[in-house]
Structure 1
Amino acid sequence: MTRLGAGIGWRPEIADAIERLPELDWVEVVAENICPGHLPEPLVRLRERGIVTVPHGVSLGLGGAERPDAGKLADLAARAEALGAPLVTEHIAFVRAGGALTASPRLEAGHLLPVPRTRDALDVLCENVRIAQDALPVPLALENIAALFSWPEDELTEGQFLAELVARTGVRLLVDVANLHTNHVNRGEDPLAVLDALPLEALAYVHVAGGVERDGVWHDTHAHPVPEAVLELLGRLRERVDPPGVLLERDDDFPPEAELVSEVAAIRGVLSRPRALSLAGRSGTGLPAEGTERVAGPTRPAGTAPARHPEGTAPADRTAPARPAAGPPREPARHPAGAVPEDAAALPEAETGGDTAAPPEDTGAGPARQRLAVAQTAVLSALVAGTPVPEGFDAARMRVQARALAGKRAGVVARVAPELPRILGEVPYRRAFLGYARTRPMAGGYRRDALDFAEHLLAAGTPADDRARRELTRWWHDRTGAKPPGRLTRIVHRLAPRRPAGRGVS
C-alpha cells in the first residue's frame, strides 16, 4: 500500500498557495479537468519536486446500470500514466440513467447520486468494477459518497455493502469521513458502525472536507471549514487503522492561504495522535445505532434477516476480504491519451459529473442491470425532469435534492458561460434558469446546456429588454453559427402545452 501522508486537492484557483504549503506530501487532481499532454505548469512543478499526484475521476458512474464507457476508462488510464500515479480513484455512485437499457431518453444528473444497497445493485457494481480494473494500469480505489436521500428497498447497511464489494473485487477504499458525517445528519446512519464494518486493510486513503447545515440538512459543500465533528471522525478512524494518506478537499470559496495551512496542520495533528482504541471508553455514537443489534459481522437492523448470499458462497469476511485469484502478472494496459471532456475542463470536482461523450450501447444486459436501470431512471427523472417521485421515497427529501441539483446546474452553467448572468443580470438569470431546468434535463453537458438555455429564452421572446435580447442573440449565434429562432418558432414555443403544476418534485 502506497504511503501518501497529508495532502490537498489541487485546484487552479489555489495552485500558488499549494506550491507554498509546508510539508506537502501529495495532491489529488480531478481527472476530467486535466489533459495528459498539456498538464498545468504548477502541477508540473509539483511533480518535478517529487509530489505524488493521484487522479480522482467523477464521471464513470460505476454504480449505474450501464457497463463503464471504454472511452472514459481509456482517458482515466491515460491520466494515471501521464501523472505517474500509484493508483486512481472514483466513486460508488450513478451519474446518468435512461438510454438503451430502458428505451428512454438519456438523463444526466451532473452530480454523484447514491446507489440502492441491494443485491442487484451490488452485482452490477462488482461487474463494473472488474471491467474498470481490467482497463486501468494501476489499482483502483472507490469513495463512499454523501447523500440527501435513501432508497426504500435497501437490503444491506453501508458497511455491509462496502465490505462485500471489497471481498468480491479486491478494490481498495477511499473513505470520506466528511461524507460519513453528512450521511449521519441526513440519513441517521451511525458513522462508527460503518467504520467497524469496513475491511480497513483495504484503505487507500481518506478524504476530509467541510460543509454547512441548513434546515436540518447537511450540505457537503467543500466550500466551508472542516468542522470538529469531521476531525473527530478522522480521529476515530485513526484509532482503528493508520491511514496511508489523508487529503483535504476544497472546491469553492477558497480561504486565505493561512487558513489552508491551518486545516492541513489540523489533519496532521489528528494523524499524530497515539492509536489507543478502547471500546469501553467509546462514546455512545460508536455503538450500534438505535434499532440495530450486533451480529457476527456488520451491523444490521433489528428484526431483519441476515444478508442473502448466492448459493454456495460465504458471506464477506470483513477481517480478511477475498482477493482476486492470483495469476500470471500482466502488462499494464496502454491507452491513447484522450481529450478532456469539454464541460469538465477547469471545473472543481463538486461541479462535474455531467456526461459529454456519446453513450455506449449496452447489449445483452442481464435482469439485474435491467431492474437497476428502470429504478435509477425513475429516480433521476423525478429529480431532473419533474416526473412523480417513485413510491417509497421521501418526497420532501427528494425535493431538497432536486433543488440542490438545479442550483448546482445553474451555478456551473454560469461558470462555463459567464456572459449569461452578465447579460441577464445575476438574479434574473438564476430565476430564469431554475424555471428552465425544472422540466428540461441536461443531456449534453454544461456548455450544451448553456446554449440550450439561451435558445429557450430567445424562442420565448425573452429577455424583454431589447438591448439584452440582441446581445443574447449575438452570443448564441456566435457559438452555434445557427440562425436565431424566428417569429413562428417563438409563437409555437409560447403556445406549446406545459406540464401541469404539482406533478414533480420541484
Structure 2
Amino acid sequence: MAMGRLGRLGRLGTGIGWRPEIADAVERMPGIDWVEAVSENLCPGHLPDSLLRLRERGVTVVPHGVSLGLGGAERPDTGRLAALAERAQVLGSPLVTEHIAFVRAGGPLTASPLLEAGHLLPVPRTRDALDVLCENVRIAQDALPVPLAVENIAALISWPDDEEMTEGQFLYELADRTGVRLLIDVANLHTNHVNRGEDPAEALAELPLEAIAYVHVAGGLERDGVWHDSHAHPVPRPVLDILTDLASRVTPPGVLLERDENFPGAQELGAEVEAIRTAVEQGRAAGTVPAAAGAVVPRFTRAGSGDGAGAGDAVRQRLGLAQAALLSALVAGTPAPEGFDRVRLGVQARALAGKRADVVAKVAPELPVILGAGYRPAFLAYARRRPMAGGYRRDALDFVEHLMRDGRPQDADARRELREWWLDRSGPVPRSERAGTRWARATRRVLLRR
C-alpha cells in the first residue's frame, strides 16, 4: 500500500480531557502526556493560563471540535473551519478532531427552518450519507493545516436503513475513500452495543486499525432503559474491556479519559487514568499487535470505492430532508418520520431537552437562582416545541422572553428580576455597558464645549 496522505503521527501517550473545572488537577496529575480541549470553548487570543502552562511544559494540546456537523447535508461552514484551523495553529497541535455526526438541519437546502440540535446526532449508514460525509471530510482536510481525525458517536436511536452497512464497514469506507484518521471512542461502542445491539468486537474487527489516531474512554449510566454516554460517571468495566480488546489488535498512538460533569477529586481521576493504562497493557500482553504506535496510515484504494466522486445537490437534498424531518421530531414536536422507533425518539427528545436545560443553566446561572425549583420544569415545557435557534445564550434569552410574554413567574419580585436580566442582555451590548457608553459620550461633549 502507498504511504498515506496524512503521513506519520507521533505517539501521543496517555491523556485527559482538559476542562476549566479540573484544570488544577490536570496540571498536577503525573504521567499526563497530552490533553484535549473543546475547540469552541477556546479563544485563541485569550487561552487559559492552565493550557499555556501545559504547553510550556511540552504537553501536547489537541483541539476537539463539536460544531462542524461533518455528517450534515450542507457543506462545512468556512467560518467554523477557519476557527478550528486557527486553534490548531495557536496551540501547535499535531492534529484536530471532530465527529461523524450532524448537529443542524433544514435551511435553504430543504426550504425549511434551520434547526439546531445542540447535540451530536447519528448519520444514516447509507451510500448517500457516506458520499456526503466523504466530500465534507475532504473539504475540511483541505482547509485545515494539520491532519483531521473523526470520531464515531454514541446513539440512542437508529435510522431505518442502517442495515445497509455496519458501523465498522461505514468507518472503513470513510477512511478508504478519504485517508482521514479515526478517533475511536470505545465508550460509544459500548453505548451502541447496549442501545442498538451492535457488537463492539465485530466493529473493531472491521475497522482499518492502522488509521486510528487515538482513543476516547468515558463513563455513562443507564436511564429510561437505555445507556446514556454522560461523561459524568466512572468508566465502567465493559468499556475498559473493549479498550483491552482494541489494544490486543493495535497499539493506539494515544488514549484519553473524557469527563465533562460531576468531576471527582484528583485522586479518583488519577485512578481512572491508571485503570486505562492497565487495560491497554493487558491488551498488548494478550494479543498480536499488527500496527505500531505512530505507524504510517495508508490511503486505501479499492475498486469501486468512488474515491473521486463528490455528492451531488440531489443527494445532499435527500439527506437534508431526512435529517430535517428527524431533527424536527426531536426538537419541535412534529410526528416521528416513518420507520423510527417512536419510544426511542421520545427518550432522545427528552435527553436533548434536558441537555439544553443544563447548558442554559451554566451559561445563564442567574436563571435557576431567580426561578428556583421552577426553572427546570419551565424550561423543559418551553423546549418541548421551541427548537434552539442560535446557540445556548440566545436560547436563554428566548426562554426568558417566552416566560415574560406569558406573565410568568407569578411572583412579582422574581418577574421584575427576570425582566431586568433580560433587558441587560437582550441587545448587542449589555445595558450596563450601553449606559457607560452614553455617559462617556456626554462627558466628551461637555469637555469639547470648554
User: What TM-score comes out, normalization by structure 2 length?
Assistant: 0.88
Secondary structure of the residue aligned to 2:114 is strand
Contact map agreement 1:170 1:323 (CA 8 A) in 2: no
Q: Partners in 2 of 1:473 and 1:215 — Cα distance? A: 36
1:307 paired residue number: none
Q: Partners in 2 of 1:253 and 1:39 — Cα distance? A: 24
**Amino acid of the structure 1 residue aligned with 2:339:** G
How far 1:2 sits from its partner (Å)?
Answer: 1.9
Q: Partners in 2 of 1:418 and 1:467 — Cα distance? A: 18
Q: Does 1:128 align with 2:136?
A: yes
1:499 paired residue number: none
2:5 paired residue number: none
Q: Partners in 2 of 1:223 and 1:71 — Cα distance? A: 31
1:438 paired residue number: 384
Q: Does 1:255 align with 2:201?
A: no
Contact map agreement 1:240 1:275 (CA 8 A) in 2: no
How far 1:478 sits from its partner (Å)?
Answer: 1.2
Counterpart mapping for 1:208-219 below 5 A: 208-219=217-228
Structure 1 gaps of 5+ residues are 279-311, 317-321, 325-363, 483-506
Q: Does 1:467 align with 2:422?
A: no
1:45 paired residue number: 53
Distance verdict in 2 for CA 1:315–1:198, change over 3 Å: farther
Q: Partners in 1 of 2:39 and 2:426 — Cα distance? A: 28
RMSD: 1.7
1:15 paired residue number: 23
**Amino acid of the structure 2 residue aligned with 1:277:** G
How far 1:269 sits from its partner (Å)?
Answer: 1.2
Contact map agreement 1:67 1:128 (CA 8 A) in 2: yes
Task: Identify the range of structure 1 (427-436 vs 57-66) with the bigger mean alpha-carbon deviation.
Answer: 427-436
Counterpart mapping for 1:397-436 below 5 A: 397-425=344-372, 427-436=373-382
Counterpart mapping for 1:19-34 below 5 A: 19-34=27-42
How far 1:40 sits from its partner (Å)?
Answer: 0.4
How far 1:265 sits from its partner (Å)?
Answer: 0.8
Counterpart mapping for 1:203-352 below 5 A: 203-273=212-282, 274-277=284-287, 314=303
Secondary structure of the residue aligned to 1:206 is strand
Distance verdict in 2 for CA 1:81–1:186, change over 3 Å: same
Secondary structure of the residue aligned to 1:399 is helix
How far 1:275 sits from its partner (Å)?
Answer: 3.8
How far 1:161 sits from its partner (Å)?
Answer: 0.4
Contact map agreement 2:10 2:253 (CA 8 A) in 1: yes
Q: Partners in 2 of 1:201 and 1:143 — Cα distance? A: 15
Counterpart mapping for 1:78-227 below 5 A: 78-154=86-162, 155-227=164-236
1:378 paired residue number: 325
Number of residue pairs aligned between Structure 1 and Structure 2: 404
How far 1:48 sits from its partner (Å)?
Answer: 0.3
Q: Partners in 2 of 1:167 and 1:94 — Cα distance? A: 21
2:291 paired residue number: none
Q: Partners in 2 of 1:449 and 1:234 — Cα distance? A: 38
How far 1:271 sits from its partner (Å)?
Answer: 2.1
Secondary structure of the residue aligned to 2:46 is coil
How far 1:181 sits from its partner (Å)?
Answer: 0.1
1:330 paired residue number: none
Q: Partners in 1 of 2:109 and 2:169 — Cα distance? A: 28
Contact map agreement 2:81 2:143 (CA 8 A) in 1: yes
Match of 1:4 among 7, 12, 26: 12
**Amino acid of the structure 2 residue aligned with 1:433:** F
Secondary structure of the residue aligned to 2:172 is helix
How far 1:323 sits from its partner (Å)?
Answer: 9.3
How far 1:215 sits from its partner (Å)?
Answer: 3.7
2:446 paired residue number: none
Q: Partners in 2 of 1:413 and 1:216 — Cα distance? A: 26
**Amino acid of the structure 2 residue aligned with 1:369:** R
Q: Partners in 2 of 1:474 and 1:127 — Cα distance? A: 47
Q: Partners in 1 of 2:236 and 2:60 — Cα distance? A: 27
**Amino acid of the structure 1 residue aligned with 2:394:** R
Q: Partners in 1 of 2:143 and 2:223 — Cα distance? A: 41
Q: Aligned residues: percent identity?
A: 73
User: What TM-score comes out, normalization by structure 1 length?
Assistant: 0.78
Q: Partners in 1 of 2:214 and 2:274 — Cα distance? A: 17
Structure 1, residues 12-58: CA drift from partner, whole Å, max 9, x if none? 00000001111111000001111111110010000000001100000
Q: Partners in 1 of 2:413 and 2:148 — Cα distance? A: 52
1:498 paired residue number: none
Q: Partners in 2 of 1:479 and 1:22 — Cα distance? A: 42
Q: Partners in 2 of 1:186 and 1:17 — Cα distance? A: 33
Q: Partners in 1 of 2:121 and 2:61 — Cα distance? A: 26
How far 1:407 sits from its partner (Å)?
Answer: 0.4
Q: Does 1:368 align with 2:315?
A: yes
Secondary structure of the residue aligned to 1:150 is coil
Q: Does 1:458 align with 2:408?
A: no
Secondary structure of the residue aligned to 1:65 is coil
Structure 1, residues 223-266: CA drift from partner, whole Å, max 9, x if none? 10000100000000001000000000000000011001101111
**Amino acid of the structure 2 residue aligned with 1:77:** A
How far 1:276 sits from its partner (Å)?
Answer: 3.1
**Amino acid of the structure 2 residue aligned with 1:112:** L
Structure 1, residues 331-370: CA drift from partner, whole Å, max 9, x if none? xxxxxxxxxxxxxxxxxxxxxxxxxxxxxxxxx9611101
